[in-house]
Amino acid sequence: MSQSEGQSHTVVRCSRFWPIFLLFLLILSVAANVLLLAGFAGMRTLISSLGGSAGVRSVIVHHGGQDMVAIIPITGIIDGATVTEVVNDIRAVDNNTLIRAVVVRVDSPGGAVTDADEIYHNLMKLRTSGHPVVVSMGAMAASGGYYVSMAGERIFAEPTTVTGSIGVMLPGFQLTGLMKKLGVRPEFLTSSAATWKEAGSPFSTFTPAVKSYLQNLLNIDDARFESIVMQGRGKALKVPITTIANGKLWTAQEALSFGMVDRIGYIGAACHQAAKLAGIYNPTIVRLEHPIDVLSAIGVKTPVGRPVVEISPSTIYSLACPKFEYLAAP
């Protein structure tokens, strides 16, 4: 065989080798991604199983005696998911005879009227079951965050807490002017008797009659908020309710002077107060948590993923049909 023929055979072998090698790497990469995703899924299953049937797990904050004080967190915007988490936390407390008292850690600007009221209702049921409830406010416990705090027998605010924002609002958009510029005219068909069916829709006109109708609904929810504050604070409130129920945010020092909170102190002081109310000393303090969704936390969606923005029907509905909210909007 000549030198040129040997070189040609070498080139042919190389040309066959590289496609096979690249194919092998591709198969190996796909297999590795599949195993990685399977591992993440397994971790998620394991974490969920550790959380128990309600998906709640106890993380020890302070080792003490057998009796416990449990911390229930309420953070961020209050919505349906918050209600579910709090209800599961309360169920976990009821199912554990060693938990003698509860500290509700509130760090929230509020949220939907109904969701805040449902959380308040369930926390009050927890109190009637014999568990002292103490509230510890974080950076913000405003509007719906203050509403749910009214379930506390004692309320602690940190030195930098802002609270209050007592009131209700109906956020939304008025789009009729924009649609007119675009040459778009909305059409609503309702049953003959349902003349108020579209009131408040961003695609309809806010006439004086519509505004008056919606204002009355807002005032009803506002009156309930004020009554809950009066029940929760009772004689501790040092000023007329009209002084504080005007939508304003108050500093911790102002809230203390008004009687909106009982003390300025950190969560440790709140836990000590809860233990004292329960008649226990040196308790073990646990924080109730829900398992982390590992796949969501790291953003894994597909082996080769890219950010995907989805506009769901529920998102469109929430924009078109805004909710009444106990929400701070400074």
Ramachandran region of residue 164, left (φ > 0), alpha (ψ -120 to 50) or beta? left
**Token digits of residue 67:** 């009796």
Name 223's Cβ contacts closer than 8 Å, sequence gap at least 6. none
d(CA 309, CA 296): 14
d(CA 61, CA 72): 13
d(CA 246, CA 257): 17
**Token digits of residue 280:** 């226990």
d(CA 222, CA 242): 12
**Token digits of residue 302:** 């597909």
- First CA to last CA across the chain, in angstroms? 87
Bridge partners, residue 164, by sequence: 142, 249
Active site residues: 143, 197
d(CA 52, CA 39): 21
102, 113, 118, 166, 178 from 79: Cα distances, Å: 21, 9, 10, 18, 30
d(CA 234, CA 238): 9
Question: Residue 104 in contact with residue 135, Cβ under 8 Å?
Answer: yes
d(CA 262, CA 230): 14
